[in-house]
């Protein structure tokens, strides 16, 4: 069996962490949970299941996902979020790799994104290929605060999928706690010196909707396609509206904590 360390970053994932750890143990002989201050039973459950716990206030996506790398007892790392699972096909595909003699630095997987029990197959939600299995000596997550990815030019795509239980219902799609991407995105853009004008929210919001609904065939998913495309458009609109607000309103800017990314 390959020697793989599974790494999961968490914040209040008590309803997901046990299933995630059990799922990863099918291919991993070590599990590390990097927790950013859960106030529920996430850490207790993970400890009971034998995971190594690292407590680290949230640093941003790529930085946080790299925190566990120095602690790992194996060179090969499988990184999943608490709401992701390996399918049986993907478990078999990983087991069939001879990682000790691999010519690749990393392996990518298609990812199925779900709302409730509904697999969203268009609008940019599938195949949503991402690298999650990699040799830490040769690759790691790009150290950015949002939308990070494993940096490598030498990867192989495996057959089979991973499952991402993105949202339990449509309501969560628009209001899931801890998923305030528009504020986080606006903060990051402001700190990078990017600026918006009065037209930016409408232009970017409209383009995001059209990109997901038309260009990425979201219309083929019926009402769910409209919904996820609208959520993308609204998120983009709010991101630029908040950026513009930072520029226009000194009181709002003064009250915002830019050290807190969430």
> Is residue 55 located within the same domain as residue 146?
yes
Output the pLDDT for position 260.
Answer: 72
pLDDT digits (tens, 9 = 90+) for 4-54: 999 999 999 999 999 999 999 999 999 999 999 999 999 999 999 999 999
Domain boundary among 167, 191, 216: 167
CA distances from 23 to 40, 117, 130, 248 (A): 21, 18, 18, 48
- Please indicate, yes or no, if residue 173 is contained in any of the structural domains: no
> Is residue 115 located within the same domain as residue 241?
no
Output the pLDDT for position 261.
Answer: 60
Q: Is the dihedral of CA 168, 20, 95, 52 positive or negative?
A: positive
> Is residue 86 located within the same domain as residue 60?
yes
> Is residue 28 located within the same domain as residue 102?
yes
- Please indicate, yes or no, if residue 174 is contained in any of the structural domains: no
pLDDT digits (tens, 9 = 90+) for 191-204: 999 999 999 999 99
Output the pLDDT for position 258.
Answer: 84
- Please indicate, yes or no, if residue 150 is contained in any of the structural domains: yes
> Is residue 116 located within the same domain as residue 196?
no
Q: Note down the domain range covering 239.
A: 180-255
> Is residue 157 located within the same domain as residue 60?
yes
> Is residue 139 located within the same domain as residue 42?
yes
> Is residue 79 located within the same domain as residue 152?
yes
- Please indicate, yes or no, if residue 262 is contained in any of the structural domains: no
Domain boundary among 135, 167, 199: 167
Buried/exposed code over 18-56 (b: 16+ C-beta within 10 A; e: otherwise): bebbebbeebbebbbbbbbebeeebbebbeeeebbebee
Domain boundary among 133, 167, 201: 167
Contact between residue 14 and residue 42 where contact means Cβ atoms under 8 Å apart: yes
> Is residue 34 located within the same domain as residue 114?
yes
- Please indicate, yes or no, if residue 175 is contained in any of the structural domains: no
- Please indicate, yes or no, if residue 148 is contained in any of the structural domains: yes
> Is residue 25 located within the same domain as residue 101?
yes
Residue 179's pLDDT band (boundaries 50, 70, 90)? low
Q: Which residue has the higher pLDDT, 252 or 180?
A: 252
> Is residue 192 located within the same domain as residue 116?
no
pLDDT digits (tens, 9 = 90+) for 203-235: 999 999 999 999 999 999 999 999 999 999 999
- Per the structure, the count of domains in the chain is 2
- Average pLDDT, integer, range 131-155: 95
Average pLDDT, the chain: 95
For the entire predicted model, the pTM comes to 0.90
- Please indicate, yes or no, if residue 161 is contained in any of the structural domains: yes
CATH of the domain at 32: 3.90.550.10
Query: Is residue 178 pLDDT above 60, yes or no?
Result: no
Kindly report which listed range (91-105, 134-148, 172-186, 190-204) carries the lowest average pLDDT score: 172-186
- Average pLDDT, integer, range 68-94: 98
- Structure tokens that stand for 216 in this block: 């990425």
CA distance 171 to 145: 25
Output the pLDDT for position 181.
Answer: 84
- Please indicate, yes or no, if residue 172 is contained in any of the structural domains: no
pLDDT digits (tens, 9 = 90+) for 43-65: 999 999 999 999 999 998 999 99
> Is residue 98 located within the same domain as residue 163?
yes
């Amino acid at each position: 069996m390959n020697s793989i360390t599974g790494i999961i970053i968490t914040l209040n994932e008590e309803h997901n962490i046990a299933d995630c750890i059990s799922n990863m143990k099918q291919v991993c002989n070590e599990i590390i949970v990097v927790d950013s201050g859960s106030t529920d039973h996430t850490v207790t459950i993970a400890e009971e299941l034998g995971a190594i716990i690292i407590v680290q206030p949230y640093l941003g996506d790529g930085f946080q996902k790299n925190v566990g790398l120095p602690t790992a007892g194996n060179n090969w790392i499988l990184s999943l979020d608490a709401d992701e699972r390996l399918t049986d096909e993907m478990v078999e595909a990983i087991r069939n790799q001879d990682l000790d003699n691999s010519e690749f630095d990393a392996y990518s997987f298609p990812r199925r994104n779900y709302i409730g029990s509904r697999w969203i197959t268009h609008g940019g939600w599938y195949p949503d290929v991402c690298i999650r299995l990699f040799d830490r000596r040769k690759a790691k997550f790009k150290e950015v605060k949002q939308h990070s990815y494993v940096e490598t030019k030498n990867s192989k795509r495996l057959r089979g999928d991973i499952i991402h239980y993105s949202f339990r219902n449509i309501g969560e799609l628009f209001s899931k706690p801890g998923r305030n991407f528009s504020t986080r995105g606006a903060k990051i853009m402001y700190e990078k010196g990017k600026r918006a004008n009065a037209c930016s929210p409408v232009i970017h919001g409209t383009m995001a909707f059209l990109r997901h609904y038309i260009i990425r065939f979201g219309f083929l998913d019926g009402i769910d396609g409209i919904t996820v495309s609208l959520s993308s458009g609204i998120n983009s609109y709010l991101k630029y509206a908040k950026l513009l607000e930072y520029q226009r309103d000194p009181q709002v800017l003064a009250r915002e904590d830019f050290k807190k990314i969430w």
